[in-house]
C-alpha cells in the first residue's frame, strides 16, 4: 500500500490518501484488511512528523508537492518468537501513543509543531496521580516549534484525568504503572485539518 501525502510550501500536510500497492494480492481478496490498512496509513500520514521537503522542489508559493511512500506491513506469521514479541511490543507502543493522541489532542486547535513527552504514574485502577508534560522541538520540524505554556498546562491537567484502564497494554501492569512514558508528535494538521 502506498501513502500519498500532499504538502504545501510551508511543509504543512494538506491532504492524505492511499493507493493500492503493486505487491498486494488480488483486489477481491482481503478487502476488509485492505480497508483497515488504508485507514491506518491515512492516520499515520496525518499524525507522523516527516522531514521537510526542500524549498527548491516548489515552483512558487502556491505550489504543493505530492509524496508517494510505499508502506510495508510485515505479518507476524513466519517470524521467530523473539521477532514476534518485538513486533507486538512496537504495536502496543503505537497503540499507547494513539490513545494519548486521541484522548488529549483530538478536537483541539494545535498551533505548533513538536513532540509532547508524558511522564506519568498510575495506580492499579488506572488513576493518574502524577503527570509531567514536556513540549520539545521535533528533530524533523524544529522551525515550527513554539513554546506554549497554555498547551503544556492543558495537556498536564487532562493527563491527570485519564483512565488508563482504557489504554492498550495497561492490563499488563496489574499493580499500576510506577513510571509510564509516552511521546506524541503534534502539529496543526494532526487532526486531519489543513495546517
pLDDT of the chain along its 195 residues, tens only?
899 999 999 999 999 999 987 765 555 567 777 888 899 999 999 999 999 999 999 988 889 999 999 988 877 788 899 998 898 888 889 999 999 999 999 888 899 999 999 999 999 889 999 999 999 999 988 888 999 999 999 999 999 999 999 998 888 777 877 789 999 999 999 987 543
Between CA 20 and CA 89 the distance in angstroms is: 28
What does the alpha-carbon distance between residue 98 and residue 88 come to, in Å, rounded to a whole number? Answer: 15
C-alpha cell recorded at residue 194: 489543513
CB-count exposure of residue 154 (10 Å: 0-12, 13-18, 19+):
middle
Contact (Cβ atoms closer than 8 angstroms) between residue 155 and residue 132: no
Q: Which three cell numbers stand for residue 80?
A: 521467530
Cα(112)–Cα(107) distance, rounded to whole angstroms?
Answer: 15
Please report, for residues 42, 97, 129, 163, the alpha-carbon distance to residue 124 in angstroms, rounded to integers and kept in the order given.
Answer: 34, 20, 11, 11
Amino acid at each position: 500500500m502506498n501513502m500519498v501525502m500532499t504538502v504545501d510550501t510551508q511543509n504543512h500536510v494538506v491532504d492524505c490518501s492511499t493507493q493500492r500497492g503493486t505487491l498486494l494480492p488480488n483486489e477481491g481478496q482481503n478487502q476488509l484488511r485492505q480497508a483497515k490498512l488504508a485507514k491506518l496509513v491515512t492516520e499515520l500520514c496525518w499524525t507522523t512528523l516527516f522531514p521537510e521537503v526542500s524549498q527548491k522542489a516548489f515552483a512558487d508559493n502556491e505550489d504543493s508537492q505530492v509524496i508517494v511512500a510505499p508502506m510495508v506491513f510485515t505479518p507476524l506469521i513466519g517470524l521467530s518468537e523473539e521477532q514476534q514479541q518485538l513486533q507486538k511490543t512496537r504495536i502496543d507502543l503505537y497503540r499507547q501513543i494513539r490513545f494519548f493522541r486521541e484522548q488529549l489532542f483530538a478536537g483541539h486547535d494545535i498551533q505548533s509543531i513538536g513532540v509532547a513527552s508524558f511522564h506519568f504514574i498510575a495506580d492499579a485502577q488506572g488513576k493518574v496521580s502524577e503527570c509531567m508534560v514536556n513540549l520539545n522541538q521535533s528533530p524533523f520540524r524544529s522551525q515550527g516549534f513554539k513554546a506554549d505554556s497554555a498547551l503544556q498546562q492543558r495537556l498536564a491537567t487532562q493527563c491527570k484525568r485519564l483512565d488508563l484502564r482504557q489504554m492498550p497494554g495497561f492490563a499488563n501492569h496489574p499493580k499500576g504503572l510506577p513510571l509510564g512514558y509516552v511521546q506524541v508528535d503534534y502539529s496543526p494538521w494532526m487532526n486531519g485539518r489543513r495546517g
